[in-house]
Amino acid sequence: MSESEKTATISLNGKDVALPVLSGTLGPDVIDIRKLPAQAGVFTYDPGYGETASCSSKITFIDGEKGILLHRGYPIAQLAEQATFMEVAYLLLNGELPAKAEYDTFVHSIKHHTLLHEQIRNFFNGFRRDAHPMAILCGTVGALSSFYHEGLDVSNAATRYQSALRIIAKIPTIAAWAYKYTQGETFVYPRNDLSYAENFLSMMFAVPSEPYKVNPVLARAMDRILILHADHEQNASTSTVRLAGSTGANPFACISAGIAALWGPAHGGANEAVLKMLAEIGHKDNIPEFIAKVKDKNSGVRLMGFGHRVYKNFDPRAKIMQATCHEVLSELGIKDDPLLDLAIELEKIAIHDEYFVKRSLYPNVDFYSGIILKAMGIPTSMFTVLFAVARTTGWISQWKEMIEEPGQRIGRPRQLYTGAPERDFTPFDKRG
């Protein structure tokens, strides 16, 4: 980040205040308003922080207009096609692609931290069998802080890195066990001979009574889904992780906060909501009626899996996901899936219907990921859990970057107060 020659001037109450303009490596300049309250006695107002840079970061760059997504400078399409999820995780966490030896050490460390403390098994028994797996994930990840006391010390760089490895390694185990628990099935332990994606599939679908062979096409698709969801700049859950982490809270608690934020249907819950929506529409013939509801502002109905806060042209992840979707369906021999037919029909409408075109509402990554996951046999309730497994690498990398930034401060937004002005307390007998 550098201070440019430019300044922005605000004229207020007859006074001009010059504010520095900062430039990043890519993207628009930003006006540094840190001295605004002191110099002009005002704050800025930006509900939802859509126009505010809350931090500087070297991890991910997005250009929503052009549909660009870069991790540490590398285009997402290149990473999805040529890298493994473990390479991307290393890249996000460390800043550079690993040399082969570094990669091997990283993968070895992740594999050797996938087991959960046996006492963590007891937590699962405390949940109802019909609990949503996101509830189990959120609670159990937070509970990791009661096992790794050294992880509570966020001031130690080696400990921070160790916690990051632990959390990336253990989250697939917790996620798969959350599923097994809701099914009443035996927990399947991690296997070190498998890749990260293969191991996740094995922990999800293997049973003790027979050998489990991972389908390589599905494993590759899973790896790609993980890559495509690994990080996405300062979205709601990542900002939640940063805000929680800015207080010095331990990383397990912060990731648990991120999981909670991801759960909402406007964020990570969207892929689950897509499938629910398709089931609700039920048949192609019902699409016009559903679209009419979507266009009616009073209905409160949205076309799930469409639109994005940042991508206003296309979501680059959606393109790759669309191709992966076709690969998986052809591998599994799925030709006439009614939900898939519906999805394809909705996609056509969005591309041609004026309502969607005018508002730049394109299918986003979750539109296709939901269909792929369903085809793979992953239950709908696990969709957001999978998103959380992938995004954990991004969250922990962003958390680490924030803690390591010189002069890091607690996050503390301000507000525009619109409540009652100061008034005197009235006792019961004087209240109207």
Q: What positions carry a catalytic annotation?
A: 308, 366
Nearest to 152 by CA among 248, 245, 250: 250
Residue whose CB is less far from ligand CMC, 191 or 293: 293
Dist. CA 162–CA 154, nearest whole Å: 11
Residue whose CB is less far from ligand CMC, 18 or 266: 266
Which residues contribute to the site for ligand CMC (CB under 6 A)?
232, 235, 266-268, 270, 294, 302-309, 359, 361, 364-366
**CB of 309 vs ligand CMC, minimal distance in Å:** 4
**CB of 202 vs ligand CMC, minimal distance in Å:** 27
With CB atoms as reference, the residue minimizing the distance to ligand CMC is 307
**CB of 410 vs ligand CMC, minimal distance in Å:** 26
Residue whose CB is less far from ligand CMC, 177 or 383: 383
Reported residue count of the chain is 432
C-alpha to C-alpha distances, 211 to 7, 182, 198, 208, 241, nearest whole angstrom: 66, 22, 14, 8, 39
* Token pair of 325 as six digits: 């979707």
Strand-pairing partners, residue 189, are none
Residues 154 and 160 sit within 8 Å (Cβ to Cβ): yes
Question: Which phi and psi angles does 205 have, rounded to 5°?
Answer: -110, -15
Q: Is 212 helix (H, G, I), strand (E, B) or coil?
A: coil
Nearest to 114 by CA among 179, 177, 158: 177
Q: Collect all residues with Cβ–Cβ distance below 8 Å to 184 and sequence separation of at least 6.
A: 129
Residues 162 and 151 sit within 8 Å (Cβ to Cβ): yes
Query: Nearest 5 degrees, angle CA 243-CA 244-CA 245?
Result: 90
**CB of 350 vs ligand CMC, minimal distance in Å:** 9
Residue whose CB is less far from ligand CMC, 150 or 296: 296
Residues 260 and 138 sit within 8 Å (Cβ to Cβ): yes
Residue whose CB is less far from ligand CMC, 280 or 405: 280
Dist. CA 250–CA 268, nearest whole Å: 23
Nearest to 93 by CA among 59, 56, 57, 70: 59
Dist. CA 88–CA 76, nearest whole Å: 10
Residue whose CB is less far from ligand CMC, 202 or 393: 393
Dist. CA 70–CA 269, nearest whole Å: 24
**CB of 208 vs ligand CMC, minimal distance in Å:** 36
**CB of 174 vs ligand CMC, minimal distance in Å:** 21
> Identity (one letter) of the amino acid at 359?
R
Q: Residue 1: how many CA atoms within 13 Å on its side-chain side?
A: 14
Dist. CA 34–CA 1, nearest whole Å: 15
**CB of 79 vs ligand CMC, minimal distance in Å:** 17
Q: Helix %, strand %, coil % for the chain, to 5?
A: 55, 10, 40
Residue whose CB is less far from ligand CMC, 97 or 301: 301
Q: Is 307 helix (H, G, I), strand (E, B) or coil?
A: coil
Residue whose CB is less far from ligand CMC, 27 or 208: 27
* Token pair of 274 as six digits: 């897509």
